[in-house]
Chain A
Amino acid sequence: MNAETRSRPQIRVAWLSTKTAKWIVGIVLAIPFVLLLNDVRIELIQPGAGLGPDPGEALVDRLGTWSIRILYLTLLVSSVARLLKVPVLIQHRRTFGLWAFTYVVLHLAAYFSALAGFDLNVVLGDFSKRPYIIVGLVALCLLIPLAITSTRGWQRRLGLNWRRLHRIVYVAAILALIHLWMQEKASFFDTFMYGSILFLLFIERLVGAVQRLRRKSVATQAAGEST
């Protein structure tokens, strides 16, 4: 790849790395939360109007759905950046990731309050009866260190280990899928859909890794020949 073809798209997408672009991404990702908050407001004024007959379940469910969506979108960011050759997009991964984490935490908070009623006995009972909750909880715990170390400072401090640490996100993504699958009753549509997305993301990364390896070996070969 020569310098000219690489610089051209970067000029066109330069605004993507601006603060404004980051704010826009952050606000867009907050929209589902704001809409949900509005439904909760309506629900509290007029029961049944905002979240339906089973509002607790609906709240937890909707937050869960957005958690997995934004988590997978986070993984999609780097794929899209590679496929479209727009590396600046990767700068937005943190915003996606932190919002995904926020939705996951809200999802758990909604479960504790609206479904379990802050009753520790109910929670402990659920943990033994409902293994899918444990799977979800493990996924959340895995995301905590990633959220903490998402800052530039931690990125610098950890160096190469930062990348290794953040590979945990793939484990969390798989656990999220299992968490979803374990709750399916009669239709595997959601599991199939999210499973396919995750599968494609893995394929893209695998192809990328193979290409990098090949390039590396070509480079070392070339280096060997020149000496």
Chain B
Amino acid sequence: MLIKASREIPSSEITPESVYLSRRKFMGQSASAAVLAGLAGSVHGLPENWVSEQGFSKGEPIGEKITPEEYAIRYNNFYEFGTGKEDPSKKAHVLTTEPWSLEVGGRVGKPGKVDLEDILKDIDLEERIYRLRCVEAWSMVVPWIGFPVKTLLDRFEPLGDAKYVKFTTLYRPKEMPGIRSIFSSVDFPYVEGLRMDEASHPLAIFSIGMYGKVLPNQNGAPFRLVVPWKYGFKSIKSIVKIELTEQQPRTTWNKSAPHEYGFYANVNPTVDHPRWSQARERRLPTTLFGRTIETRMFNGYDEVASLYEGMNLKRSY
């Protein structure tokens, strides 16, 4: 069995954040992998060192500094856990990610429900070092661990008329305080979508880990999408359902504010958000008086340009 069974942990046993953080610091200081393996472990779901035990091919450096892990796991948008940047890292630890199953349906030859562990059983994991550009004009560089979206979709035998892929995030109000908020103008469960050819592009991956470890809950554990040429909100987290459709799916942000967030949401410095410019970005962590950097078309992933040939990207933003 790949995934160790989780046990119910009383709240008294959950390590307070301060202790946890100081332990983290200590772990960072002790370079020994053996020490790391001994201490690592998460409250629910895969043990932290599962990814390194499994093994993965190392990612190619992109010549840009990788965002320190402490920022990537502390500065998140995951509105199911609150709208503050630090809400997810404070509140997502209660999320149960094991067992986790994925429902695949719609225009596929072999629909069904599969356990995550069965999906991962015979998949080659690879590390991908990607820029992550948020629609809010900040960005990071994150070493993801995962596998191409196409690898998984092919197993379910997409039908010829499948034009789009619709992804749905877990909806579990009990563990997700953000969903319970009556002030939310966002519809849950969170839904995102891609065109079939976008999803099949080799750059689009499903991720189960980052920084050599399994995904922390706030980063979309245990299973998320990463589409590096699109704004971050397209890279949907904690996916429980995948449907192949003929019609373009109605996606969460697009539904909530269609003039601000398009279906495509390709990173594009020439198309501004109605409330701010997208020409530049703040690469995190910035210093207090740090300079911004120029945002690149498709977030610098020019190889996807052919997907949009003949399209007016100012209109299909």
A interface, CB within 8 angstroms of B = 40, 43-44, 47-48, 51-57, 59, 113-114, 117, 125-126, 129-132, 182-189, 192
Contacts and interface: CB of A to CB of B under 8 A. Distances in A.
A117 B183 CA distance: 34
Interface in B34-79: 68, 70-71, 74-75, 79
Contacts of A44: 288
Contact of B285 (A47, A59, A114, A188): A47
B288 A40 contact: yes
B137 to A, nearest CB: 10
27 contacts: A48-B68, A52-B75, A53-B74, A53-B75, A53-B284, A53-B286, A54-B282, A55-B285, A56-B282, A113-B289, A126-B276, A126-B277, A129-B277, A130-B275, A183-B275, A184-B185, A186-B79, A186-B184, A186-B185, A186-B186, A187-B183, A187-B184, A187-B185, A188-B185, A189-B181, A189-B183, A192-B183
B138 interface: yes
Contacts of A51: 288
Contacts of A59: 288
B275 A56 contact: no
A159 B65 CA distance: 63
B160 interface: no
Interface of B: 68, 70-71, 74-75, 79, 83, 85-86, 138, 181, 183-186, 256, 272, 275-277, 282, 284-292
A43 B276 contact: no
A129 B275 contact: yes
Contacts of B138: 54, 57
Contacts of B70: 48
A53 B71 contact: yes
Contacts, number: 80
A51 B289 CA distance: 12
Contact of B286 (A40, A55, A184): A55
A52 B85 contact: yes
B289 A117 contact: yes
Contacts of A192: 183
A92 B292 CA distance: 42
B286 A56 contact: yes
B277 A125 contact: yes
A120 B60 CA distance: 39
Nearest to A184: B185
Contacts of A126: 276-277
Contacts of B275: 129-132, 182-183
A85 B72 CA distance: 53
A53 B292 CA distance: 14
Nearest to A188: B183
Given A187-B185, A188-B183, A54 B288 contact: no
Nearest to A116: B292
Nearest to B288: A55
B288 A114 contact: yes
A117 B282 CA distance: 12
Contacts of B83: 185-187, 189
Given A48-B71, A129-B277, A187 B181 contact: yes
Contacts of A129: 272, 275-277
Contacts of B74: 52-53
Given A129-B272, A186-B184, A56 B288 contact: yes
Given A54-B285, A56-B288, A129-B277, 12 more contacts: A47-B285, A48-B70, A53-B284, A54-B138, A54-B286, A55-B285, A56-B290, A57-B282, A129-B272, A183-B275, A186-B79, A187-B183
Contact of A54 (B184, B256, B277, B284): B284
A125 B289 CA distance: 19
A188 B83 CA distance: 10
Contacts of B185: 184, 186-188
A47 B287 contact: yes
A192 to B, nearest CB: 6
A131 B276 CA distance: 9
A56 B289 contact: yes
Contacts of A47: 285, 287-288
Nearest to A190: B183
